[in-house]
Amino acid sequence: MPTDLHVFAVPGLPDVTPDADLAALIAGAAARSGRGIVAGDVVVVAQKIVSKAEGALVRLDEVVPSPRAREWADTHGKDPRAIEVIFREARRIVRMERGVLIAETHHGFVCANAGVDASNVMPGFVTLLPRDPDASAERLRRAIAEESRCPVAVIVSDSFGRAWREGAVDVALGVAGLRPLVDYRGCVDPYGRRLESSVTALADELAGAAEIVMRKTARTPVAIVRGAGEWCGDGSGRELVRDASRDLFR
Amino acid sequence: MPTDLHVFAVPGLPDVTPDADLAALIAGAAARSGRGIVAGDVVVVAQKIVSKAEGALVRLDEVVPSPRAREWADTHGKDPRAIEVIFREARRIVRMERGVLIAETHHGFVCANAGVDASNVMPGFVTLLPRDPDASAERLRRAIAEESRCPVAVIVSDSFGRAWREGAVDVALGVAGLRPLVDYRGCVDPYGRRLESSVTALADELAGAAEIVMRKTARTPVAIVRGAGEWCGDGSGRELVRDASRDLFR
């Protein structure tokens, strides 16, 4: 039986500040929108507001850039303090060219600027990725479930560039209450052939769908995907990070 | 004003054979499902049935494997004829390890087995990717628009593995009637800051959303995304292929 998905942004969220009760803000905004939150909803929350609520912000005035950060920033016309923050967040610099820094974060994510970002952030500050996006997702899941009195899943999402393809897509950094991968291996196709290597990154596809309705400039950093309840269960965003030893695409 | 997306599979499609009128089959199935096709719908069609309808199939009995294909197949327990077909479809072999072949196709797609696939195909055959997925999408777009008497967009999609992350996601190989990239550069965030490098691969996110409802084993290789009409316009899947010189992630 095919599932219908319904994907919609949650309007009316206020500006999120450190120590905001993000779950209460989300549940409240969803209730005011008239659609509420129902059992099995996947609540997709942009990393930016999770980081803001958790205080994962750095005031650039308090950053003393290293000579290396200063040199690179000067060459490429960047703020040396922001570059310093990127270096601190990076476990490894993957590429550093033409003013673009691709880094592997301590979580194992590979993304531009190690996830350090100034967009949609008050001037003079940058946000970091949440320290533990799965823990962030789990805290939100519990609190939203309590506020809305029904079981939900939560994805903490961010826009990542990719190898081989133009444009960024949203992916799931943190996941709670959802199986992030759908494993079709061993399933049989209509011709009786066993599928060999079909594992789908469901949580990333859900994050991408949510991104479409969030829009980057519309102040709607939360979206709900309704209809994916069958995939609710145990899972984490960590499962989506591919170990280097298994990665033939990098 | 936020957009709602509604994503649903089109049930009741018959097995697709070479020279099938795929557009008529899709429009007919959509009409029988009671939801039809409406202006602005994005019709996402799995590559597999596009290839089947276009006759992009190879009968393995007619393939004579090269010594190189034979050697590699023997080492990894694969069918040397299928490996030979992969070699023919590949412009470049990216990686060839542990029984996995990652190749760049003549289109510039980087994917497992150069897109050559035996799943959901009658025994003894493999499918190739469509020669020109944008042309396939455009033919379908025109014919579906004519059948359903309203303007639609078409995405020809396939599941691709990725660098850095576990699991495959569906991406747009061919696009017609849709702008595949949304460019937020120059837009201003709520703090007045100009967004620097925000280009979103909308068509890939739409393909991923459609994949969720298609399911690999449910015989529903067509899905409709309703609500994305504002992005209808001119575009192609080619725009999503990143030129090597611009790719810092590879």
Preferred mutation among B119, B126, B179, B246 to probe A, highest tally of A CBs within 10 A: B119
Q: Which domains does chain B have, with CATH numbers?
A: 6-55+131-239 (3.30.1330.100), 57-127 (3.90.1660.10)
Q: Quote helix, strand, coil % in chain B, to nearest 5.
A: 35, 25, 40
Does the pLDDT value for residue A1 go beyond 60?
A: no
Do B6 and A9 make contact, defined as CB atoms within 8 angstroms? no
Give per-residue pLDDT as tens, B125-137: 999 999 999 999 9
Give per-residue pLDDT as tens, A50-81: 999 999 999 999 999 999 999 999 998 999 99
Which residue, A81, A83, A131, is CA-closest to A106? A131
Do A169 and B205 make contact, defined as CB atoms within 8 angstroms? yes
B230 in contact with A, Cβ within 8 Å: no
Better pLDDT: B116 or A95 = B116
| Model confidence band, residue A217 (pLDDT cutoffs 50, 70, 90) | low
Does the pLDDT value for residue A233 go beyond 90?
A: yes
Give per-residue pLDDT as tens, A104-127: 999 999 999 999 999 889 999 999
**In B, which residues are within 8 Å of A189 by CB distance?**
119-120, 216-217
Report how far residue A116's alpha carbon sits from residue A58's, in angstroms, rounded to the nearest whole number. 9
> What's the mean per-residue pLDDT of chain A?
93
Report how far residue B249's alpha carbon sits from residue A94's, in angstroms, rounded to the nearest whole number. 8
Give per-residue pLDDT as tens, A157-202: 999 999 899 999 999 999 999 999 998 877 888 888 877 668 999 9
**Three-state secondary-structure class, residue A103:** strand
Residues lower than pLDDT 50 in chain B: none
Give per-residue pLDDT as tens, A5-34: 999 999 999 999 998 999 999 999 999 999
Does the pLDDT value for residue A212 go beyond 90?
A: yes
From the list A9, A191, A219, which residue is nearest B121 (CB)? A191
The pLDDT score that the predictor gives to residue A197 is 66
Residues in chain A: 250
Find the residue in A nearest to B10 (Cα).
A2
Report how far residue A106's alpha carbon sits from residue B238's, in angstroms, rounded to the nearest whole number. 34
Preferred mutation among B6, B165, B202, B211 to probe A, highest tally of A CBs within 10 A: B165
Report how far residue B118's alpha carbon sits from residue B58's, in angstroms, rounded to the nearest whole number. 10
The pLDDT score that the predictor gives to residue B218 is 67
> What's the mean per-residue pLDDT of chain B?
93
The pLDDT score that the predictor gives to residue B250 is 67
Question: In angstroms, what CA-CA distances link A99 with A82, A83, A102, B183, B194?
Answer: 13, 11, 10, 19, 17
